[in-house]
Amino acid sequence: MKIEKIMNLSKKIAITAAVGFFVNLSFGQSVQEGVNYVDSQKYAKAKQNFTDLINQNPKDANNYFYLGNTYLTQFEPNFEQAQDNFNKGLAADPKSFLNKIGLATVKLGKGDKSAVAEIQQIVKDSKEKDAEVLYRAGEALTTFEKNSSPDLAITFLNKAIEKAQKGGVPANYYYSLGDAYRLKKDPGNAMSAYDKAELVAKNKASVYTRMGTLWIAAQQWQRAKENIDKAIAVDPTYAPAYKALAGFNIKYQKNAEATQNLINYTKYADEDPYTQLEIAKLYFTNEDYANAKTTLDSVFDKVDDPIKYRLRAYIQYGDGDYAGAQQNITTFLSKADKSRLQPSDEGLQGLIAAGLAKNEKDAAKKAQLESTAQQKIAIAKAAKDETLNWDEELAKVKGGITASSIDQGATSPAIEALKAKVAANAQDTDALYKLAQAYQEVKNWNGAILTWGKMAALLPDWAPAYYSQGYAYQQAGNNDMAKTSYEKFISLVKPAEVEANKQSLGYAHFFVAFMEKDSNPEKAKQNIAKSLEYEPTYPDAVNLQKALNK
């Protein structure tokens, strides 16, 4: 699953590091401290810093802008608090271009794309004399990915860089330029901008973290890890680097390592409730539902953002509490601004409906829930939403596969020992292989299905994992997912491996043919022919071929 899509409508393009504000020293050391806090994802300290500056000099409009901008750049933007501060800044100075840009950015974050033209006009009115105004205009146009304008942002940012040359270009000007190129899917120019930032940045950790996340986006895993490691080496207290490393390990299914990264991230960030909310999301992505729930519960009453209800709904869905999940996603939908709704919200409602349908006794209500499930999941799929694998999740729901369902299934001393071994090293494929087999031995098919799935995630080209998962799905009575797994197995068997896998290939093709015989007879005929090619005397395949050829 992709946590960026699960939770964030206005996803920051700098994937794991907050937008860095290493501003020109002419703004003063106190402002510098505040913007450094923002870059280090210490949002509570940043807010306090700028609030203190406002109290010291309430007539300085710029301080209201920086406080408001902190509310925009935190993980879940607080548009109301941001707007309130920008308005106060304009009350202090009605000509403040920065606060005008701030208000336009709020509109942009809420989905009002007319704000792009508004930002252009503000820049025009400023006569492009102030590098910081040009920079903030460019930054605003890269802050919200779905409502961005990267080409215009690049124009403003290059002008800001040119204007700032005499006094020295702040590193964050180059960061935002790199972020704009990332939006354009131009990693080469993005990396060039980050290279320039490295030359002037006082804290290289911020640069290396951005480089690492750029390599993650490009799926260049070794380079990603090298840069994140460099970030931690130059500044072991730089919180965003640990968040980036957690994201890296989550992609690699290294759950134990990711959990430790999140512990370090929590240690070096601060206790701002919205930061804790972000940590809860990451625990959820790491399939660490216990820590996700504990972290969310600790800040639930401290966070005003309705996003908390969406996250709780996902956690409850993951734990099989469909009634609770339904209540919370409904609350989220009733409270959230329409601009924050996503196709994944429809998909989640569909999965919840499917879960509720399983135990519904009333035939009419059950049919209605099942129809709702199909309709809403279709919406998410039509939008090409990849928050979850919707078909796979639906199959899991119908098969009753949840963490609690596995724990409630049969176990053995061998299973418990192997679970502990896997918890200590989630990348131990030998332990996972033995655990999957141990689950099969006691007929805990849900445990086997998910464990073979973890094997497949670590060794995506290893065909036997998919065959074994298909067998487990079949034994669990989930024939649709069994067919999907068997087809994946067939696609991965290399020519040199055919001889050793003839029997398995014969059965896999037979099963696919059997499942397709009514809906797609031609495909069934092709598969049964392949089945008999591998196993010419397989009786069930022979009989099915005769039936298909009648």
On whether both 379 and 463 belong to a single domain, the answer is: no
- Supply 535's token pair: 């196993």
Q: What is the largest CA-CA distance in the chain?
A: 90
On whether both 389 and 478 belong to a single domain, the answer is: no
Residue where a domain stops, chosen among 232, 248, 263: 232
Q: What pLDDT is stored for residue 27 in this prediction?
A: 46
- Residue 281 pLDDT exceeds 90: no
∠ at Cα 58 (55, 59), nearest 5°? 160
How many CB atoms are closer than 10 A to CB 416? Answer: 12
Q: Containing domain of residue 346, as a range?
A: 312-398
Count of domains for the chain: 3
Evaluated on CA atoms 341, 346, 349, 351, the torsion sign reads: negative
- Residue 268 pLDDT exceeds 50: yes
On whether both 322 and 177 belong to a single domain, the answer is: no
Residue 195 — very low, low, confident or very high, per pLDDT cuts 50/70/90? very high
- Residue 127 pLDDT exceeds 60: yes
Residue 303 — very low, low, confident or very high, per pLDDT cuts 50/70/90? confident
Residue where a domain stops, chosen among 198, 232, 266: 232
Lowest mean pLDDT of 16-25, 245-254, 299-308, name the range. 16-25
Whichever domain contains 478, its CATH number is: 1.25.40.10
Residue 169 — very low, low, confident or very high, per pLDDT cuts 50/70/90? very high
pLDDT, one tens digit per residue, over 461-499 is 899 999 999 999 999 888 888 998 999 999 999 999 999
Q: What pLDDT is stored for residue 253 in this prediction?
A: 65
On whether both 119 and 197 belong to a single domain, the answer is: yes
Average pLDDT over residues 263-283: 85
Q: What pLDDT is stored for residue 4 in this prediction?
A: 45
- Residue 106 pLDDT exceeds 70: yes
The answer to whether residue 95 sits within a structural domain is: yes
Residues whose CB is less than 8 angstroms from the CB of residue 321 and which lie 6 or more positions away in sequence, other chains included: none
Residue where a domain stops, chosen among 348, 379, 398: 398
Express as a percent the part of the chain with pLDDT over 90.
Answer: 59
- Report how far residue 311's alpha carbon sits from residue 329's, in angstroms, rounded to the nearest whole number: 8
Express as a percent the part of the chain with pLDDT over 70.
Answer: 94
Alpha helices in 402-478 (DSSP H): 403-408, 413-424, 429-441, 445-458, 463-475
- Residue 3 pLDDT exceeds 70: no
- Residue 10 pLDDT exceeds 70: no
Q: What pLDDT is stored for residue 219 in this prediction?
A: 78
On whether both 318 and 450 belong to a single domain, the answer is: no
pLDDT, one tens digit per residue, over 37-87 is 888 889 989 999 999 999 999 999 999 999 999 999 888 888 999 999 999
Q: State the chain's mean pLDDT as an integer.
A: 88
The answer to whether residue 12 sits within a structural domain is: no
DSSP-derived secondary structure for 349-396: HHHHHHHHHHT--SHHHHHHHHHHHHHHHHHHHHTT--SS-HHHHHHH
Residue 13 — very low, low, confident or very high, per pLDDT cuts 50/70/90? very low
Residue 393 — very low, low, confident or very high, per pLDDT cuts 50/70/90? confident
On whether both 516 and 488 belong to a single domain, the answer is: yes
Q: What pLDDT is stored for residue 398 in this prediction?
A: 77
pLDDT, one tens digit per residue, over 397-406 is 877 777 677 8
Evaluated on CA atoms 321, 327, 330, 336, the torsion sign reads: negative
On whether both 441 and 336 belong to a single domain, the answer is: no
Lowest mean pLDDT of 8-22, 96-110, 155-169, 335-349, name the range. 8-22
